[in-house]
Amino acid sequence: MTTGTRRFRASLVQLRAGRSIAANLDQAEALIRRAAQGGANYVQTPENTALMELEPERVLAQAQTEQESEPLARLRALARELRIHLHVGSLPIRIDPERVASRSFLLTPEGDVAARYDKLHMFDVDLAGGESYRESHYYCPGNKAVVADLPYGRLGLSICYDLRFPALYRALAAEGAEIIAIPSAFTRQTGEAHWHVLVRARAIETGAFVLAATQGGRHENGRLTYGHSLIVSPWGEILVEAGEDPGVIFADIDLAASTEARARIPALKHGRDFDIAVAEASPRPAQREAS
């Protein structure tokens, strides 16, 4: 539950992660420290914070269980040192010998795990130019939506491809989320076409602030990600936007704006259950008379 204040400073860390977990964490730590020095209470990193990899065998070779995870231990210690809420966009967490979860962690200023969320929707797509992804070959999807209470308001968790499934965000908002997190690693191809409009739509539909840290640029494995981390208001305004390079962005958030947006357009209260009717809109072929 909130403890009184409804205002906080949010910071998004944009990365360009590669195949070395140690190097990725060094880059992330430096930028997280910059965010904390800038006065952020809440800092979010992108999907694939510790490892950007497409080959299943490379992911499986480096993934650890949550109890063993060296990246998680290092980031927990950092949150504790900096006294921030650190939202780790995702880490590969081994759940059995052949599968991992893409798991997001919300860490408290004491370094504890306040919430964890496993990505619900797997990115199995074939794009133009032969670009193809099959996350379900080695990632195991989650089965539970998650909200978490910060000192200033309620946070709804999601990851990247979840962005394309609006029912998830309506459910998070219905559970009181006024802040929506969408740490991501959008491809450049899909990002150029859809990133801004989808992030803004989720904010408008829910009347929530959307905080979406992402990866950007050409990665060591050859993948191109779009960048353009975004903080969007409940009215759909882009408050701050990154470019393509690694860096840090900030926004001062007043959650009274969420209350105001939901009062102006109370769509969350107006939703109705409904059935679907299938109408026959074209004539049936004429039946031949028996001869």
Distance in angstroms (rounded) separating the CA atoms of residues 74 and 172: 29
Quote the crossing angle between the two packed helices 70-82 and 21-37, to the nearest 10°: 10
175 included as an active-site residue: no
Q: State the catalytic residue, choosing from 53, 160, 205, 244.
A: 160
> Which pair of tokens denotes residue 169?
């965000």
> Which pair of tokens denotes residue 288?
């031949």
> Which pair of tokens denotes residue 216?
């950007």
DSSP secondary structure of the chain: ---S--EEEEEEEEB---S-HHHHHHHHHHHHHHHHHTT-SEEE--TTSS-----HHHHHHH-B-TTT-HHHHHHHHHHHHHT-EEEEEEEEEEEETTEEEEEEEEE-TTS-EEEEEE--S--EEE-GGG-EEEGGGTBPP-----EEE-SSSEEEE--GGGGG-HHHHHHHHHTT-SEEE--B--BHHHIIIIIHHHHHHHHHHHT-EEEE-BBEEE-TTS-EEE---EEE-TTS-EEEE--SSSEEEEEEEETHHHHHHHHHS-HHHH-----------SPPPPPPPP-
Q: State the catalytic residue, choosing from 53, 119, 135, 140.
A: 119
Distance in angstroms (rounded) separating the CA atoms of residues 7 and 246: 26
47 included as an active-site residue: yes
160 included as an active-site residue: yes
Q: State the catalytic residue, choosing from 47, 178, 205, 244.
A: 47
Active site residues: 47, 119, 160
